Amino acid sequence: MATVELKNLRKTYLTEEIIKGISLSIEEREFVVFVGPSGCGKSTLLRMIAGLEDITSGDLLIDGQRVNDVEPGKRGLAMVFQSYALYPHMDVYKNMEFGLKLAGMPEAERREKIEHVARTLQLEPYLHHKPGQLSGGQRQRVAIGRAIVRNPKVFLFDEPLSNLDAALRGQMRVELSALHRKLGATTIYVTHDQVEAMTMADKIVVLQKGVVEQIGSPLELYHHPRNLFVARFIGSPPMNFFPAIFQGGDSAGSSVQLRDGSILYVPVTSPGLLPGTKVTVGIRPEHVELASSGPNSGVVEVVERLGAITLVHVRMPDGEIIVVQTDGAVLTEVETRVSLTLPPRNCHLFAPDGLAFEACHRHPLAA
Amino acid sequence: MQAVLEHSPPAGATALNQTKVRGKRTGLLLLSPSVLLLLVWSIVPLVMTLWYSVQNYNLVDPTLHGFAGIDNYWYLLTDPDFLHSLLNTFILVAGVLLISVGGGTLLAVLYDQEFFGRGIARIMVISPFFIMPTVSALLWKNLMLHPIYGVYSAMMRAVGLTPIDWLARFPLLTVMMIVAWEWLPFAVLILLTAVQSLDGEQREAARMDGAGPIARFRYIILPHLGRAISVVVMIETIYLLTIFAEISVTTAGGPGVASTNLAYLIYSRALLQFDVGGASAGGVIAIIIANIVAIFLVRAVARNLEA
């Protein structure tokens, strides 16, 4: 098992810089997930680690060795592709055997390894099937098997579950987590699906336009997003935002005034901020509370009942839509007037440059 | 009584059967013009060839006529020229296939790479296919390979070598090169599109598996090209069995019969020696050979296309 270290990694295509200096260190046995909107460079970064893309500048270290100029096959990595990329003219056995054969492993040893992996992944009955005869989930397993059998230092996954249907994706997610626990291999996983990121990762790297926005554990990102982008990207439905005016702060919190004049005292520090500065208050839909009357009132525009929960979309007087996630049994109707309560302990404050104010108390799960 | 009951179908079924029969008849009726045309088109020449092949029929000797039995076949099959031309036919087909498919595969992989001026280079490699056979044969004979003012002769003289009279010394090989030059673009065209349809992630997966360029070519690209290669082989074989223009323009089958293939032999029998009967016998044999080749070819290709 291995560590991976990225030191100020950059990638330029023609004149456009795609990866703008990323530094990151991945510990042994860690499951790291790269997330971000499409075009953020997460796949490019993974391919640079794999060796499929050249590194324009910066250093890539695997186990402390600089591998910038090492061939992909010699870096000791294995990759699972989005399209699985199985060799269509070879059966499952030969697909798994290919890398071992090229590495010059003796026949008996190859057979033993492949059979062991096939047992682990329940692929034994399909060893002599061609990929074309397998279902999507089985192909996915073969692709994973082909990676495992090479006993790599680091596993790379490039959106491996995005071609599967929702039910299978959930199942494979659990299987992959279990497999990671069992193999204990260092893993880098690229996805745009935040459920995958939240459930599987030890550490999430949020990328946007080739820049790291935040690195942290899933709950750290959820409870303490570093800036507006991460706050908006992590969590579904996304966080609600209100414009507000900063009034002043002390060591226990900061007070801001919302559009309707109500004052909110949020437990975050605000060193050096001038009163009167425009700030943004953020609160997740699951933390907003509905009341029949009071300040912050708006008209219910849409009610989405998902059974266990209900999403209430409220149109505020300034035209903004605020989403509230409440109990599935709530009786709120469309076109009625409701009032929103914002519990201060769940509010986030963001400065004009988008950065979040430090919370006075870290969330116990995100320490 | 029981038997009668069992055997008489219900009235409804009879009506249905009649409608079915009528529908079939209408279909046949509508099909018949095209079937008839095809029949006339292919069967009449075939029957005429078969008929002449058992006749004594020489355009310069009207006294010689009447039923010949298997004489025409006998004379042809025992003629050493015939065996020679048969051998030449197969050498030509095999040689051109080897050059065009082998070279075509390598060129297709080469032209799949990114390099400056790729678009123009691709058009240039395809262009010989658009030149008609007679023109390209003339081009090679007079412009490139002519022992006195050919380009190759000039090049050889420039480095102090004696120019070679290609068509006189290596007639079959030279014809083969000319025909391969014409067919290489076709192979490149088909194989290039096939190479381009290879999934990029598959190549990358092979790279991750530690496969170098040669291993990738051998284990990933070549199997992927299997179908396309079999299609190229089939189409080229059909055309190559009947090469004529290139031989007629360059060597006229000579010297002797050194570059005569079956198609040219039939032509020379019919229109140089005016022996229609003998030429027809040759035609029948050509049909039989083409069918034998076709059976093997279609089987091999069909198996490849299924997989």
- Mean pLDDT lowest among A159-163, B134-138, B183-187: A159-163
Give the rounded distance of the alpha carbon of A13 from its chain centre.
25
Please check the confidence at residue B12 and state whether its pLDDT lies above 70: no
The CATH class given to the A4-231 domain equals alpha beta
Best mutation target, A47, A70, A79, A153, to test chain B (most B CBs within 10 A): A79
pLDDT attached to residue B105 = 94
CA dihedral sign of residues B241, B242, B246, B250 = positive
What is the pLDDT confidence band of residue A204, given thresholds at 50, 70 and 90? very high
Whether chain B has a CB inside 8 Å of the CB on A76: the answer is: no
Burial label for B34, CB within 10 Å (0-12, 13-18, 19+), is: exposed
Long-range CB contacts for residues A69-73, cutoff 8 Å, separation at least 24: A71/B207, A71/B210, A72/B204, A72/B207, A72/B208, A72/B210, A73/A99, A73/A102, A73/B207, A73/B208, A73/B209, A73/B210, A73/B211, A73/B212
- State whether A79 and B224 contact (CB < 8 Å): no
Q: Please report whether residue B301 resides in a domain.
A: yes
Q: Is a pLDDT exceeding 70 seen at residue B139?
A: yes
The verdict on a CB contact (< 8 Å) between A98 and B207 is no
Window 99-128 of A, Cβ < 8 Å to B: 99, 102-103
Selected residue with higher pLDDT from B69 and B207: B207
**DSSP annotation of B58:** B
Task: Say if residue A360 is exposed, middle or buried (CB neighbours under 10 Å; 0-12, 13-18, 19+).
Answer: middle
Out of A73, A82, A88, the one facing B209 most closely (by C-beta) is: A73
* A 42-61 → B contacts, CB under 8 A: 50-52
Number of domains in chain B: 2
- Regarding whether B208 and B104 lie in a shared domain, the answer is yes
Please check the confidence at residue A65 and state whether its pLDDT lies above 60: yes
Burial class (CB in 10 A: 0-12, 13-18, 19+), B158: exposed
- Residue A317 to residues A259, A268, A343, Cα–Cα distance (Å): 9, 27, 20
Answer yes or no: is pLDDT of B230 > 60: yes
Q: Which of B198, B207, B209 is the best mutation test for A, with the most CBs of A within 10 A?
A: B209
* Average pLDDT score over residue span A21-38: 91
Tokens at B146, concatenated:
């002519």
pLDDT at A224: 92
Q: Are residues B25 and B163 in the same domain?
A: no
Does B4 map to a domain?
no
Q: Do A99 and B209 touch (CB under 8 A)?
A: yes
3-state secondary structure of A257: strand
**CA-based nearest residue in chain B for residue A103:** B210
State yes or no: pLDDT of A239 exceeds 90.
Answer: yes
Check CB contact under 8 Å for A71 and B206: no
pLDDT band at B15 (very low <50, low <70, confident <90, very high): low
Answer whether residue B62 is part of any domain. no
Asked whether residue B159 falls in the same domain as residue B44, the answer is no
What residues does each domain of chain A span? 4-231, 240-366
Q: Please give the biggest Cα pair distance in chain B.
A: 105
Question: Are B157 and B44 in a shared domain?
Answer: no
Rounded Cα–Cα distance for residues A29 and A2 (Å): 7
In the predicted model, what is the mean pLDDT of residues B157-161?
89
User: Which pLDDT band, with edges at 50, 70 and 90, does B221 fall under?
Assistant: very high
Q: What's the Cα-to-Cα distance from B195 to each of A82, A241, A305, B96, B235, rounded to whole Å? A: 21, 52, 51, 21, 19
The confidence score (pLDDT) of residue B14 equals 60
Residue B297 in tokens? 């070819």
Q: Residue B207 pLDDT more than 80?
A: yes
Q: Is B50 on the interface with A (CB under 8 A)?
A: no
Contacts of A157 in chain B (CB under 8 A): none
Closest Cα in chain A to B227: A89
B206 inside 8 A of chain A by CB: yes
Q: How many CB pairs under 8 A join A and B?
A: 65
Please report residues of A whose CB lies closer than 8 A to that of B221.
none
Find out whether B137 and B115 touch, Cβ atoms under 8 Å: no
Determine the pLDDT at residue B17: 66
Disruptive mutation site among A98, A105, A129, A130 for chain B (greatest number of B CBs within 10 Å) = A98
> Is A144 near chain B, with CB under 8 Å?
no
Predicted local confidence at residue B126, as pLDDT: 87
- Does position A298 have pLDDT exceeding 70, yes or no? yes
Same domain for B30 and B132? Answer: no
Claim to verify: residue B239 and residue B169 sit in the same structural domain: yes
Same domain, B88 and B48: no
pLDDT band, very low/low/confident/very high, at B3 (cuts 50, 70, 90):
very low
B32 touches chain A (CB under 8 A): no
State whether A89 and B199 contact (CB < 8 Å): no
d(CA A226, CA B302): 62
Q: Does residue B270 sit in the same domain as residue B127?
A: yes
Q: First CA to last CA across chain A, in angstroms?
A: 27
Nearest residue of B to residue A130, measured between CA atoms: B307
Averaged pLDDT, B200-225:
90
d(CA B22, CA B10): 19
Q: Let me know whether B290 and B239 are in one domain.
A: yes
The CATH number linked to B302 is 1.10.3720.10
Q: Which domain holds residue B47?
A: 11-53
B306 in reach of chain A (CB within 8 A): no
Residue A230 is predicted with a pLDDT of 93
Q: Tell me the sheet residues that pair with A158.
A: A190
Within-domain flag for B66: no
Query: What CA–CA distance (Å, rounded) separates B32 from B39?
Result: 10
Considering CB atoms only, which of B199, B210, B215 is closest to A85? B199
CA dihedral of residues A22, A26, A31, A33 (deg, nearest 10): 0
3-state secondary structure of B93: helix
Same domain, B112 and B41: no
Residue of A nearest to B206 (CA): A99
CATH number 1.25.60.10 given to A240-366: no
CB-based burial label for A251 (10 Å; 0-12, 13-18, 19+):
exposed
B210 touches chain A (CB under 8 A): yes
On whether residue B1 sits in a domain, the answer given is no
List chain B residues with CB under 8 Å of A89: 223-224, 226, 307
B194 and B281 co-located in one domain: yes
Which of chain A's residues have a Cβ under 8 Å away from the Cβ of B227?
Answer: none
Q: Would you say the ipTM is above 0.85?
A: no
The answer to whether A77 contacts B208, with C-beta atoms less than 8 Å apart, is yes
Q: What sign does the dihedral B275-B276-B279-B284 (CA atoms) show? A: negative
pLDDT band at A168 (very low <50, low <70, confident <90, very high): confident
Asked if residue B6 belongs to a domain, the reply is: no
Cβ-Cβ contacts under 8 Å, B212 against chain A? 73
Which chain A residues contact residue B206 at CB under 8 A? 87, 98
In angstroms, what separates the C-alpha of B305 from chain A's closest C-alpha? 13
Q: Which of B262, B287, B289 is nearest to B47 (CA)?
A: B287
B34 and B118 housed in the same domain: no
Per DSSP (E only), the strands in B103-239 are none
Residue B207 to residue A72, Cβ atoms within 8 A: yes
Asked if A85's CB is within 8 angstroms of B204's CB, the reply is: yes
* Mean pLDDT of the region B72-94: 89
pLDDT attached to residue B2: 43
Tell me whether residues B199 and A83 touch, CB distance under 8 A: yes
pLDDT-derived band at A311, boundaries 50, 70, 90:
very high
CA of B230 vs chain A CAs: smallest distance (Å)? 16
Q: What percent of chain A has pLDDT over 90?
A: 39
